[in-house]
């Protein structure tokens, strides 16, 4: 199969470059070039096998491949001929076209001798074709491929039928479904001469394979769904879509992740194909199609009122529209998503506005029973550029926010503010702006306050805390609102703010108080359960975190569909608690489940948020490559929608993932970007931020400074009463060569008694004492929790300990297990995994200098580590003596040999 070369791409991250990036124009030229090449044949293995089996069987005179335009008929015919040709059979290719359809034997001319002329004698031409193919068949079995047989002229069609009757050749024919064919062609399958294969669109998993091979890089999840939907399994449409979208910049690579942004505006071949099918449509039929482009799906009764029954029947018979049933409703929609894109792009603005108004006015006279009816009618009013019913547009904005389409929600809310200004409209827009992270805009709107003091108090408190980092003012605002009617909402909000401000004990107490109240509203209880579960997790209270998390799940389920964000709010709390408690595998599964659920529900912002959470969990597990892909996807897709103010968290985690992958310079660039993001950082995540910074520092070779940063993280965690995080920070200090953390880790293990803290203390004991058994026990616990990297490090250290202590009988088994665990983390590089001889014979500072000396001068090392050049050379001399080498080249060879493979 033909393998496409990687496509050059452009990155838009300031200060972050990628080795295969190129200017934007080059990016587009490369994508166009890739789109024009022959793609790998995937997803047609069964059909290809069917063709070759029919050939080998010998009972059929051939096969006919029927399918829609662009579905891959031609490619399959060519591939079949290529396979049979490689087996030594003679193959002939013929293609019917509109031009040859009016020429006698035009398509079959390849079956005639080059210097032969019929002089208008059709029988003579047929006889000569028969003679020529019989002559070929005397040397090898003949296979004739005929593309687009629905365009064959009468003579060529008759010749093929004759060859099939005589079994002189094996025919591999393609025809376009629903096209009229010559009688001689249809006789091939009607008389049972050939085997017919119906070529269906490619399934989603095969489209994914094509996307991954052509794009040569990760594709953001919601963009993947959009491309799948638009292409609908049609390889030609997929190829043209990628070519045109990249050429227009609709498909672009940001931060190493491909993203399909904005509305796709078809051009070129796709547009020509669709408009070509519309060329013969009468005005009434075109009206039906334009109405569907503006607001599909539409009820059949609505379209009948505007266009008439006959026009609907014509649109359906043309294959451009289809009728479907949804419960008791009969709906009409376009037969392919691309039709709507092309029709909208070709429609004059005035016509689009007029049709939008017609549809909106009709729908406003009907009952709105479906959950998204208000949103549909609101979007029609937006198309008409006229607010007919402000309350419907306001409800539509709320529904758009509920489904996570925050950009649409803001657009509709601003329309309401213009058409019917007031506190209610301002309140909705403020809520949306808070979700998007635009706290300045929300704060400006909150000046009106309106008739709902609790709602506005919550808005002002969130702006104060997340917009300005003023926890004191946020507390005061919410305290004053707690005594108002519906004040429990202010209390539930305060539980979340206390959590993110690292006051977990207070957050847990407040949350439990709300949940104990018989009068608490559903929303207040949901907020309390999510915040309480997270707070308990950070405090190391595993049982309480689990209990509150399950209580939240039950509350969120009961609150559906009235509180569509409830599952996200509860599961955010559960995910944070799992992460804090060290349940890395469960945290990753929870994030991935919510990511897939959001994709299925067409909630792109929610999906992007969970992609980031999944990335953090993957980083915790020790999979920096996968973590980096998920985190870059989140950062790219969340642009302008910083829900829960976690973008900084994702940036910093990405720096650590990049550092663990061995790219120090790019890791530092991501860390710098995180520091330049607007707004304050959550105090809750401060220890994690420092830990991720430490690994970025360590990747540059300065493990001494990295260990000091980890100690700082542990101190912050202890001061803010985050014992579970403190334990992780102290163990990271140990992983980076720091000493003196063992005793405190044992205390924390006794205090918390969670599986992770017990394992951390055991591993630290093994490293401290040099004994292998505690490390082996810790590795088992790490692996069970999903901490693959920690488990691999612990077993690698255990292997060294057993060998050093003379317990060589155990070492081979442990070494083999360590290799298997390291294979789960192929992208990760840490001091405990690499340079094993250095770890056993050199001091920590000697090891740091030796690792850097393999690639850098003594002066460079001195500047990086804050030492004098003389001191660096002294450390290097000691390392050479212990390792039995005498120069840097030997050191570099040694380090290269000791890298895990």
- Pick the last residue of a domain from 542, 564, 581: 581
pLDDT at residue 319, rounded to an integer = 83
Backbone angles phi, psi at 586, to 5 degrees: -65, -40
Q: Which of 236, 264, 292 is the last residue of a domain?
A: 264
Q: Please check whether residue 228 lies inside any domain of the structure.
A: yes
Element (H, E) at 873: helix 869-883
Cα separation, 548 vs 529, in Å, equals 6
Q: Which two tokens stand for residue 5?
A: 């070369």
What three-state secondary structure class fits 229? helix
> 413 and 394 in contact (C-beta within 8 Å)?
yes
What average pLDDT score do residues 231-244 get?
Answer: 88
The answer to whether residues 150 and 104 belong to one domain is: yes
283-295 vs 300-307: helix crossing angle, rounded to 10: 140
Assess if residue 564 is contained within a domain.
Answer: yes
Res 16 pLDDT > 60? no
> Cα 723 to chain center, whole Å?
34
The predicted structure's pLDDT at residue 190: 92
More confident of the two residues 263 and 103: 103
Question: CA 501, CA 504: separation in Å to the nearest integer?
Answer: 8
Q: How many residues does the chain have?
A: 901
Average pLDDT rounded to a whole number, residues 668-695: 93
Q: Is 305 within the bounds of a domain?
A: no
Confidence of residue 6 (pLDDT cuts 50, 70, 90): very low
Confidence check: pLDDT of 93 > 60? yes
Q: Are residues 97 and 182 in the same domain?
A: yes
Q: What are the tens digits of pLDDT across the range 560-589?
A: 888 999 999 999 999 999 999 999 999 999
Sorting pLDDT into bands at 50, 70 and 90, what band is 100? confident
**300 located within any domain:** no
Greater confidence (369 vs 849) lies with 849
Q: Tell me the per-residue pLDDT of 841-898, one tens digit each, with 9 for 90 and over.
A: 677 788 778 878 877 888 888 887 888 888 888 888 888 876 667 778 777 766 655 4
| Residue entry with tokens 């990049």 | 658
**CB–CB of 208/224 below 8 Å?**
yes
CA dihedral 407, 408, 414, 420 (to 10 degrees): -160
* Nearest to 172, CA basis, from 38, 54, 88, 44: 54
Q: Which domain CATH number covers 97?
A: 3.40.50.300
Max Cα distance, the chain (Å): 103
pLDDT value at 32 more than 50: no
Rounded Cα distance between 499 and 476, Å, is 16
* pLDDT tens-place string over residues 155-212: 999 999 999 999 999 999 999 987 889 999 999 999 999 999 999 999 999 999 899 8
- The predicted structure's pLDDT at residue 620: 97
The Cα–Cα gap between 395 and 347 comes to 28
Pair (750, 730) in one structural domain:
no
pLDDT at residue 164, as a whole number: 93
Element (H or E) spanning 173, and its range? Answer: strand 170-176
pLDDT in tens, 621-666: 999 999 999 999 999 998 878 877 899 999 999 999 999 998 999 9
160 and 126, same structural domain? yes
Structural domain contains residue 94: yes
Q: How many CB atoms are located within 10 Å of the residue 18 CB?
A: 16
Residue 603 within any structural domain of the chain: yes
- pLDDT at position 467 is 86
Instruction: Please give the torsion angle defined by the CA atoms of residues 487, 491, 493 and 499, in that order, rounded to the nearest 10 degrees.
Output: 170
Please state, in angstroms and rounded to a whole number, the distance separating the CA atoms of residues 273 and 171: 28
Q: Are residues 623 and 723 in the same domain?
A: no
Q: How far is CA 346 from the centre of its chain?
A: 31
Distance separating alpha carbons of residues 649 and 565, to the nearest angstrom: 21
Question: Residue 4's pLDDT band (boundaries 50, 70, 90)?
Answer: very low
For range 807-821, the mean pLDDT = 81
Say if residue 129 is in the same domain as residue 89: yes
The model's pTM is 0.83
**Residue 348 resides in a domain:** no
Same domain, yes or no, for 32 and 165?
no
The kind and range of the H/E element at 144 are: strand 142-147
| CATH number for position 608 | 1.25.40
Quick check: 234 and 70 in contact, CB under 8 A?
yes
Domain boundary among 832, 864, 879: 832
Per-residue confidence (pLDDT) for residue 1, from 0 to 100: 25
Q: Which of 242-246, 372-376, 756-760 has the lowest mean pLDDT?
A: 242-246
Is the peptide bond preceding residue 297 cis, with omega within 30 degrees of 0?
yes
194 and 51 in one domain?
A: yes
Yes or no: say if 426 and 450 are a contact pair by the CB < 8 Å rule: yes
Residues 392-398, mean pLDDT to the nearest whole number: 95
Share of the chain above pLDDT 70, in %: 93
Q: In this structure, are 748 and 823 located in the same domain?
A: yes
Label residue 840 by pLDDT band (50, 70, 90). low
What domain count does the chain have? 7
- Does any domain span residue 59? yes
DSSP summary character for residue 195: E
Can you tell me the mean pLDDT for 489-508?
Answer: 96
Q: Do residue 802 and residue 825 come from a single domain?
A: yes
| 532 and 665 fall within a common domain | no
Residue 787 to residue 504: CA distance in whole angstroms: 25
Q: For residue 152, what pLDDT band results from cuts at 50, 70 and 90?
A: very high
155 plus 64 within the same structural domain:
yes
State the residue range of the domain holding 639.
Answer: 583-681
CA–CA separation, 183 vs 201, rounded Å?
27
**How many CB atoms within 10 Å of residue 748?**
26
pLDDT value at residue 13: 34
Name the token pair of 877: 């001399």
């Amino acid at each position: 199969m033909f393998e496409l070369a990687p496509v050059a791409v452009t990155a838009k991250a300031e200060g972050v470059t990628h080795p295969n990036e190129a200017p934007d124009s080059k990016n587009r030229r490369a994508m166009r070039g890739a789109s024009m090449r022959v793609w790998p044949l995937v997803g047609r293995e069964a059909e290809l096998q069917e063709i070759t089996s029919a050939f080998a069987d010998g009972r059929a005179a051939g096969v006919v491949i029927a399918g829609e335009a662009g579905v891959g008929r031609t490619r399959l015919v060519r591939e079949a001929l290529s396979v049979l040709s490689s087996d030594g059979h003679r193959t002939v290719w013929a293609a019917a076209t509109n031009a040859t359809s009016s020429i006698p034997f035009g398509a079959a001319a390849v079956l005639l001798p080059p210097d032969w002329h019929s002089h208008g004698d059709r029988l003579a031409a047929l006889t000569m074709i028969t003679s020529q193919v019989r002559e070929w068949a005397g040397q090898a079995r003949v296979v004739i491929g005929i593309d687009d047989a629905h365009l064959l002229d009468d003579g060529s069609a008759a010749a093929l039928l004759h060859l099939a009757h005589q079994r002189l050749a094996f025919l591999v024919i393609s025809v376009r479904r629903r096209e009229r064919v010559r009688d001689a062609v249809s006789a091939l399958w009607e008389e049972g001469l050939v085997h017919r294969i119906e070529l269906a669109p490619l399934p989603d998993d095969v489209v994914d394979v094509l996307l991954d091979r052509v794009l040569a890089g990760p594709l953001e999840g919601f963009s993947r769904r959009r491309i799948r939907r638009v292409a609908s399994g049609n390889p030609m449409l997929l190829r043209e879509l990628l070519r045109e979208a990249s050429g227009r910049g609709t498909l672009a690579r940001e931060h190493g992740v491909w993203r399909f942004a904005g509305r796709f505006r078809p051009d070129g071949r796709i547009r020509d194909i669709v408009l070509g099918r519309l060329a013969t449509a009468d005005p009434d039929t075109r009206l039906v199609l334009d109405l569907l482009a503006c607001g599909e799906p539409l009820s059949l009764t609505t379209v009948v009122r505007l266009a008439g029954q006959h026009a609907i029947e014509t649109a359906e018979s043309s294959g451009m529209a289809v009728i479907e049933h949804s419960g008791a409703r009969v709906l009409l929609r376009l037969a392919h998503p691309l039709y709507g894109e092309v029709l909208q792009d070709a429609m004059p603005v005035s016509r689009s506005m007029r049709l939008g108004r017609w549809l909106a006015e009709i729908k406003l006279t009907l009952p709105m029973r479906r959950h998204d009816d208000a949103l549909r009618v609101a979007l029609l009013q937006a198309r008409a550029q006229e607010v007919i019913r402000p309350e419907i547009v306001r409800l539509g904005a709320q529904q758009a926010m509920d489904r996570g389409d925050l950009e649409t929600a803001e657009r509709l809310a601003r329309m309401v503010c213009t058409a019917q200004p007031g506190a209610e409209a301002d309140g909705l827009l403020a809520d949306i702006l808070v979700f998007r992270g635009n706290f300045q805009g929300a704060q400006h709107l909150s000046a009106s306050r309106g008739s709902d003091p609790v709602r506005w108090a919550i808005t002002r408190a969130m702006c104060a805390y997340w917009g300005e980092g003023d926890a004191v003012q946020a507390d005061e605002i919410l305290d004053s609102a707690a005594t108002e009617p519906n004040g429990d909402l202010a209390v539930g909000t305060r539980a979340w703010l206390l959590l993110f401000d690292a006051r977990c004990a207070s957050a847990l107490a407040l949350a439990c108080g709300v949940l104990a109240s018989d009068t608490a509203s559903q929303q207040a209880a949901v907020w309390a359960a999510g915040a309480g579960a997270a707070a308990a997790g950070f405090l190391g209270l595993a049982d309480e975190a689990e209990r509150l998390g399950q209580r939240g799940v039950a509350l969120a389920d009961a609150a559906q569909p009235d509180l569509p964000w409830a599952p996200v709010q509860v599961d955010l709390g559960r995910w944070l608690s799992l992460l804090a408690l060290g349940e890395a595998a469960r945290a990753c599964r929870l994030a991935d489940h919510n990511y897939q659920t959001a994709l299925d529900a067409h909630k792109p912002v929610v999906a992007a948020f969970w992609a980031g959470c999944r990335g953090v969990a993957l980083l915790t597990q020790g999979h920096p490559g996968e973590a980096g892909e998920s985190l870059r996807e989140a950062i790219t897709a969340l642009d302008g929608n910083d829900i829960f103010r976690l973008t900084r968290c994702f940036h910093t985690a990405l720096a650590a993932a990049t550092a663990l992958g061995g790219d120090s310079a790019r890791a530092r660039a991501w860390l710098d970007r995180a520091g330049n993001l607007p707004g304050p950082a959550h105090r809750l995540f401060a220890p994690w931020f420092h830990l991720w910074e430490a690994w970025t520092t360590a990747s540059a070779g300065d493990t001494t400074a990295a260990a000091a940063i980890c100690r700082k993280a542990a101190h912050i965690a202890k001061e803010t009463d985050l014992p579970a995080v403190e334990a992780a920070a102290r163990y990271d200090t140990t992983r980076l060569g720091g000493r003196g953390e063992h005793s405190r880790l044992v205390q924390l293990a006794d205090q918390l008694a969670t599986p992770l803290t017990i394992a951390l203390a055991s591993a630290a004991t093994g490293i401290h004492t040099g004994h292998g058994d505690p490390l082996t026990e810790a590795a088992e616990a790490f692996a069970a929790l999903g901490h693959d990297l920690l488990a691999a490090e612990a077993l690698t250290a255990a292997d060294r300990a057993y060998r050093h202590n003379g317990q060589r009988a155990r070492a081979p088994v442990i070494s083999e297990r360590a290799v298997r665990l390291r294979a789960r983390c192929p992208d990760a590089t840490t001091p405990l995994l690499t340079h094993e001889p250095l770890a056993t014979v050199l001091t920590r500072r000697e090891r740091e200098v030796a690792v850097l000396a393999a690639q850098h001068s003594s002066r460079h090392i001195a500047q990086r580590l804050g030492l004098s050049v003389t001191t660096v050379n002294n450390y290097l001399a000691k390392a050479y003596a212990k390792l039995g080498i005498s120069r840097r080249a030997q050191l570099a060879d040694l380090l290269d040999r000791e890298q895990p493979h």
